[in-house]
Amino acid sequence: MQQFLGKDLSVAEAKKIAKDNYLFREGDPADAMYIIKSGLLAVTKTKGQSEVSLAEISPGSMVGEMGLFDNKPRSANVKAIKETEVIALPYESLNKQLDQLPVWVRAILKNLNETIRESNKKLKQLETANADEERFPPHVINKLMSIFNFVCNKYGKPEANGVSISSVLLRNYTIQIFQEATNKMNSLVNALTELGFATQEDRGDGTQKIVNMKAAELFAFVDWHNDWIYKQEKDKKDPLTEQECKVLNALIHFAKKVEPDKKGLNKVSLTDLQNDSVKEFGQLIKPDDVNSLIEKKYLNEKIMDGSSVFVLLELPFVEPQANNWTLLNNLKRRLR
């Protein structure tokens, strides 16, 4: 660094940071980089009401250099773990030094800086996705659904479109009996409402009337999902993606238009599926779109009959699978 600054060391300014004080915070404007002379700094990210430590910076290292190239706000907090002394190097003076470098060197430095920022951004997105996944892992979704079903089944009042319960009763059971977070239950009920499985009606006193409109389907989902979660890996079928669910639901739609054969299987023409899928479902479904369903053993192999290609569906098996994977995928997307 001294070599980079040349003789213009007057730009450097010593600064002391007491233990637990911040050198700068996430979001602060960036105006200088720092070399740690003594002590120890921690790089942290704010997460809710707490901070997560990302790294420690020891004497001889530098921090805050990224803003030199793009002047973006600080991307993290930097605080002193113990009393620390740093040497502050203002960007204004450093930019004068950068101007003396060849253009190609400045371009490389700027490109490296942008690459690091983009990598940090992707890591943050991955961290957020993992946090969402951990907040609603499969067993938690099933537990919350079971609580909702139990309270509705035991205390629900019959309605024209289902059974109703008070949001207060559901909240009390969720947090007091089953010791689950009420905000998670609220998220689940909101998701079920969006998907047409429930309704919510404000009562004007800060509470809601919640109607479970499809209790039988939700009970069946819990049983199916619980069985899938705890099955041994060798006995599990691979999960279905949202697109695979759309293809399977389309096949089921066409299968119901034909009579089953003597073995109880419904034969669907893949040519008819392709020709009519846009009109029936608003999207083109091609014969090859069923290949992954065959690989995952939700369908049997394709068969030739004359000049056409068909697949055979066992509706009592595939229809619950399609319904449950569709519901699970929709819940996951809304619970993020």
Three-class DSSP labels, the chain: CHHHHCCCHHHCEEEEECCCCEEECCCCCCCEEEEEEEEEEEEEEEECCEEEEEEEECCCCEECCCHHHHCCCCCCEEEEEEEEEEEEEEHHHHHHHHCCCCHHHHHHHHHHHHHHHHHHHHHHHHHHHHHHHHHCCHHHHHHHHHHHHHHHHHHCEEECCEEEEEHHHHHHHHHHHCCCCHHHHHHHHHHHHHCCCEEEEECCCCCEEEEECCHHHHHHHHHHHHHHHHCCHHHCCCCCCHHHHHHHHHHHHHHCCCCCCCCCCEEEEHHHHHHHHHHHHCCCCCHHHHHHHHHCCCCCCCEEECCEEEEEECHHHHHHHHHHHHHHHHHHHHCC
Mean pLDDT to the nearest integer, 205-222: 93
pLDDT, residue 119, reads 59
- Tens-digit pLDDT profile for residues 152-162: 999 999 999 99
Would you say the CATH fold of 237-334 matches that of 2-132? no
Report the range of poorest mean pLDDT among 49-63, 191-205, 254-268, 306-320: 49-63
pLDDT, residue 112, reads 67
Is pLDDT at 233 greater than 60 in this prediction?
yes
**Out of 1.10.10.10, 3.30.9.10, 1.10.1760.20, 3.30.750.24, which CATH number does the structure's domain 138-215 have?**
1.10.10.10
Is pLDDT at 49 greater than 80 in this prediction?
no
pLDDT band at 5 (very low <50, low <70, confident <90, very high): very low
What is the second-level CATH architecture of the domain 2-132?
Sandwich (2.60)
Closest CA to 266 of 285, 248, 245, 252: 252
pLDDT, residue 8, reads 47
The answer to whether 335 and 194 have CB atoms below 8 angstroms apart is no
- For Cα atoms 243, 244, 249, give the angle at the middle one, nearest 5 degrees: 100
Closest CA to 88 of 43, 44, 30: 30
- Tens-digit pLDDT profile for residues 159-188: 999 999 999 999 999 999 998 888 899 999
For the entire predicted model, the pTM comes to 0.60
Percent of the chain clearing pLDDT 70 (strictly above): 85
- Give me the residue spans of the domains in the chain: 2-132, 138-215, 237-334
237-334: what fold?
Arc Repressor Mutant, subunit A (1.10.10)
Is pLDDT at 44 greater than 90 in this prediction?
no
